Structure 1
Amino acid sequence: MGTPWQRDAITGVVLAGGRAERMGGRDKGLLLFRGRPLVTYSLEALKAVAGRILINANRHRAAYAALGYPVVADRDQGFAGPLAGLLSAMRAAQSPYVLAVPCDAPLLEGRWLERLPAALAAAHAELCAAHDGHRLHPVVLLAERRLADDLEAYLDDGGRKVERWLARHKLALADFRDHPEVLANINTPEQLAQLERAQSGEAGASGPEGSTSERGP
């Protein structure tokens, strides 16, 4: 990969293509957090490491396009999960690497994302995912774009679990043990309200309890 953070080598994608069932079907990326749509925090973070940025969305595409970035949908409308969004970004990208982040992790700033290309380069790996010391966060993921054909075959065979696809390739882990809270993602209205209170200094919690990155946006 050369220098770990050559921005032109990376296309960033915000994964905002899910059903958000635990949000009552509301489009999570467009929900407000501290007065801004959640997706804008992910877009801002990607600017630090990616030369080009995409949004993966299957609903409200005009609203996402109004943010000024190309919008790519899943190749089918079956809501096949975050890997389907990653594949669409891989097909749309021209850079050798694609960096995916969820649309609902507003504490994940660009300085933290720099850990992924650094860890991938150090391990000479094909993929790099974030790890908080206890569990993997597989949708905070840097992937070689040349893996698109393999990913498409995995999806065509009915595969959906991100971790199972990662296990097919050489995976590096970006260590977030020192700041696990930045990986917190929001799945319910209660978690959104909790994180809003925490960031306003009204609660001691650093992130929403029980959040998980495996489900995706």
Structure 2
Amino acid sequence: MLAGSTPAVQPARALLYLHGFNSSSASPKARLVKAACGALARHEERRLACLTPDLSHRPDLALQQAEAALEVLGCEDTLLVGSSMGGFLATLLAERYGLRAVLINPAVQPARFVGDYLGQTLVNDASGECFTIDNSYFDQLTALQWERIVHPTRYLLLLGSDDETLDCRDALRAYAGSRTLIHPGGDHGFDVLHEYLPALFAHGGWRVPTSFSVS
């Protein structure tokens, strides 16, 4: 499903990938995006800087870390790519700095889900860190919550129609007017991201052949 049109933009000079809650830079999507940036740079014979930072499970600290990584890349001409909670953070940065963003099954109002996990102790598989969900997560997410999207054409949404964690209709409503691709039967993990790499990079202003692949 496709809605809206791709804005005419100059190619991004860098890409910042923001992973989801309690994930890491070792996640399949993060590794795929980083490898794809390298492959694209070789294809185009020019450098495309890419960062996939490890983000804290604490929302306020995660945003600070994401913003610090953005400052390293440059707050202009950087394409933001965010998955789930990373999509929420990418939206905050896109609105703050006027950047383009590709959002993969983005969390729209993540504070709503804190109650489902309140009191639970979680473990990050990559770092081994343990942490417990408390009310401060709700307070932080509520404080960070954006009200509306000012420039929807800055966004490309990649949504799974059968996302078992987030209802894709929430994103469709919140980002109305944004270019949207819905993968039929796609789940929250969106393990078909490789099929959408041409669209992802095209949103950043790169001309990528539909046969583009990461070797």
Q: TM-score, normalised by structure 2?
A: 0.32
